[in-house]
């Protein structure tokens, strides 16, 4: 069995979505003073590698508590989108070679290669994003979630957040800021994106992993 870490490290100097704040770390307990270490953390629910659940966009949408724990685990597939150019859309044609396999999985993960830009300003600009037509098609495939190795499933400058709305209103969770999707070597693998069990949570940082057996 091989476990592949698909998660960025949470740190005070990390990149976050524009106009949100990076995590704050307060080292409240130290070995020198208390004999043990403990950190007080302040962070947004959509920090780093994270999951959006329906309550993120929908007033009556399911929260993290509402979704069963097995909703965050299942079979995954990686769709290679690295051939796309800056600003391109991930469209129906992109998933055509994978369509039959997608019908039997729970999570579709889009490998754009954009995680290699993590830590640079260019990470926020021009990344491939999901088209509305593809988002609609994905909601009809009985999947639990869609993941991507970019800051969002749609451009940062988007104000209507159409893709979020399409997916979340159909109870398809969204996983953003993944990494290392190119290290998954098998067509069939298990994917885990367990969130913190936050009361009325609209989303959560996750430790995303792929398990190859």
- The tens place of each residue's pLDDT in the chain, 213 residues long, gives 999 999 999 999 999 999 999 999 999 999 999 999 999 999 999 999 999 999 999 999 999 999 999 999 999 999 999 999 999 999 999 999 999 999 999 999 999 999 999 999 999 999 999 999 999 999 999 999 999 999 999 999 998 999 999 999 999 999 999 999 999 999 889 999 999 999 999 999 999 999 999
Q: Is 88 a domain residue?
A: yes
Q: Is 140 a domain residue?
A: yes
Q: Is 27 a domain residue?
A: no
Q: DSSP letter string over 122-180?
A: GGGSS--EE-HHHHHHHHTTT-SEEEESSS-SS-TT-SS-HHHHHHHHTT-EEEESB--
Residues 105, 108, 114, CA angle at the centre, nearest 5°?
A: 155
Structural domain boundaries enclosing 99: 2-12+45-212
Nearest to 24 by CA among 38, 9, 44: 44
Sequence-distant (6+) residues with CB within 8 A of 120 are none
Q: Is 148 a domain residue?
A: yes
Q: Give the 3-state secondary structure of residue 25.
A: strand
What gap in Å lies between CA 115 and CA 127, rounded to an integer?
A: 10
């Amino acid at each position: 069995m091989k476990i592949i870490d698909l998660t960025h490290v949470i740190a005070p100097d990390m990149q976050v979505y524009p106009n949100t704040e990076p995590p704050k770390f307060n080292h409240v307990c130290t070995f020198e003073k208390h004999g043990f270490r403990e950190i007080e953390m302040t962070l947004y629910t959509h920090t780093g590698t994270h999951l959006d659940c329906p309550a993120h966009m929908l007033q009556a949408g399911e929260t993290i508590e509402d979704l069963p724990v097995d909703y965050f685990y299942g079979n995954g597939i990686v769709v290679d989108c690295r051939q796309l150019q800056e600003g391109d859309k991930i469209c129906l044609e992109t998933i055509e070679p994978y369509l039959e396999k997608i019908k039997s999985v729970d999570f579709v993960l889009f490998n754009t290669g954009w995680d290699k830009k993590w830590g640079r300003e260019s990470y926020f600009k021009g990344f491939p994003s999901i088209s509305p037509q593809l988002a609609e098609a994905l909601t009809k495939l009985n999947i639990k979630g869609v993941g991507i190795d970019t800051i969002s499933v749609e451009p940062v400058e988007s104000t209507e957040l159409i893709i979020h709305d399409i997916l979340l209103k159909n109870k398809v969770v969204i996983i953003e800021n993944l990494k290392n999707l190119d290290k998954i070597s098998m067509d069939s693998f298990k994917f885990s994106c367990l969130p913190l069990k936050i009361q009325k949570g609209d989303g959560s940082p996750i430790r995303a992993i792929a398990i190859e057996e």
